[in-house]
Amino acid sequence: MSFASLLPAAVLFALSFRLAGAISAQTFAPPSKGPLVQTANYTSFSNNTLHNKHVVKGKVFDRIIQVWFENTDFATAISTPAFEQLTKQGLLLTNYNAVTHPSQPNYVSAIGGDFFGLQDDAMFHIPSNISTVVDLLEEKHISWATYQENMPENGYYGISYKAANYGNSSAKPYSYYVRKHNPLMVYDAVSQDPARLRNIRTFNDFANDVVNGTLPQWVFVTPNMVNDGHDTTIDYAASFLEYWLVPLLTDKRVNGDRTLILVTFDENETWEIQNNVFALALGGAVAKHLHGTTDDTLYTHYSSLSTVQANWCLGSLGRQDTNATVSNVFSFVAQKTGYKNVHVPANQAPQFNLSDVAPGPLNSDAYIPFAAPNLKARGAGGGPVFLRPGLNKTLTVEKLPPPVDLYSLKKAVPWQMSPRTTSGKNIIPCADSDCK
């Protein structure tokens, strides 16, 4: 699919997706009879099967499933009964932090080890010489997939997708799916590779893959815009948690003895305070004696990368996934893999609530080109830094020119696929007339 073919959809603009609360009093509508039953509410049915019968053993877990909810402070999540209840079955990571605001850069970070200066939710693409966790996994033949609720088909490229409103049949179609929460699609290394695109899967594919015993080893799950709490409330998200995740916890095809499930949120709702989010390590791989306990080690979204690297002795991306301060490995995994976490005293913790300050190739106020990763870095997995084709190894961070304010030159960064308004605010193309 070419980028140009998608731009017409980007002609309909919205000021912002950040309309949280607009429909807050909604009651939860289950999209199906259960998480393993395919439904017409998801636009298209699964029509292909993965072939993941081979299991690569990890040191602590053989499967990791991340489920990301949206825009909620730690305190709000922990005081919501369904989330609070679940902590009894897992290890609560009380000092887990998002890395910036708003949503999209957080998702991008968890895949590529950096947010590259990104400070908004507009449509971008990251060139194919930039590596992601997928490169590290495939190098060791570890299967992977992302499941995106209400994405209409495998590897859908558009910025959002409006489907019939299954919660209210007399309401207009609804943008349940958004690309800003599907970070693998932002990376050309994934989105321009047909074999990898098959692993960008729908929720009907999830049912298919579980029932047919082909659920991969690395799994990233994004509920839709109502179920993740983004357009609704934490109580709505809690109902989804009970509908979708809770039954799967007792299903061996999903949660076996060596499955780690990370339930977390992309970012804290209150930007003026530290970006601490609820994060719960669940699943058979979390030892029983840890259930109902807490761990106050400093973690971030980069920790999900370093933990995976440590578990399967992978290489690294040579970016923030190898920055020891921000990439502690989940301690119960670090203990078994011999990785030494760093202790960061509370008063020395970096501020993760900053936005719009990091120069980078996706920041038009402070633009710098994409730099090579730190080739000398050694991450938690001990392996070398992964190099993708087309990477200029000598274009290191130190060699970059000073940041340029492209915005004041009335230019967009080369990787931006949607324009900005004259006021300087990014406009988010949105095929949804509701979102203005």
Residue 270 is a binding residue for ligand NAG (CB under 6 A) = yes
Pick from 5, 213, 257, 271: which binds ligand NAG (CB under 6 A)?
271
- Binding positions for ligand NAG, 362-421, rule CB under 6 A: 369-372, 390-392, 394-395, 399
Pick from 66, 146, 191, 353: which binds ligand NAG (CB under 6 A)?
353
Judged by beta carbon, residue 4 or residue 346, the one nearer ligand NAG is 346
User: How far, in Å, CA of 151 to CA of 251, rounded?
Assistant: 24
- DSSP conformational letter for 95: T
Catalytic residue among 73, 114, 120, 231: 231
Minimum CB distance to ligand NAG, residue 38 (Å): 5
Residue 268 is a binding residue for ligand NAG (CB under 6 A) = yes
Pick from 35, 38, 109, 317: which binds ligand NAG (CB under 6 A)?
38
CA distance to 1, 132, 171, 175, 397, per residue, from 104 (Å): 22, 15, 28, 16, 23
* DSSP SS3 for 161: strand
Judged by beta carbon, residue 86 or residue 285, the one nearer ligand NAG is 86
- DSSP conformational letter for 233: -
Candidate ranges 132-140, 229-237, 251-259, 320-328; the one touching ligand NAG (CB under 6 A):
320-328
Q: Which amino acid is at 99?
A: V
Cβ-based neighbour number of residue 287 at 10 Å: 11
Concerning whether 231 is annotated as a catalytic residue, the answer is: yes
Residue 40 is a binding residue for ligand NAG (CB under 6 A) = yes
Pick from 127, 359, 403, 419: which binds ligand NAG (CB under 6 A)?
127
Judged by beta carbon, residue 183 or residue 361, the one nearer ligand NAG is 361
**435 contacts 429 by C-beta, under 8 angstroms:** no
Contact flags string 69-98 toward ligand NAG, x per CB under 6 A: ----xxxx----------------------
Judged by beta carbon, residue 33 or residue 289, the one nearer ligand NAG is 33
Residue 213 is a binding residue for ligand NAG (CB under 6 A) = no
Pick from 119, 255, 274, 337: which binds ligand NAG (CB under 6 A)?
274
User: How far, in Å, CA of 96 to CA of 104, rounded?
Assistant: 18
| Structure tokens given for 58 | 């990890």
* DSSP SS3 for 344: coil
- DSSP conformational letter for 254: T
DSSP 346-410: GGGPPP----S-S--TT-TTSB-PPPPP-TT---TT-PPBP--TT--TT--GGGPPPPB-TGGGT
- Total residues in contact with ligand NAG, by rule CB under 6 A: 56
Q: How many helices (H) and strands (E) does the chain have?
A: 11, 14
* DSSP SS3 for 144: strand
Residues assigned a catalytic role: 231
**Which positions touch ligand NAG (CB under 6 A)?**
29-33, 38-41, 44, 46-47, 49, 73-76, 127, 129, 153-154, 166-168, 170-171, 202, 205, 207-208, 211-212, 268, 270-274, 276, 323, 325-326, 350-351, 353-354, 369-372, 390-392, 394-395, 399
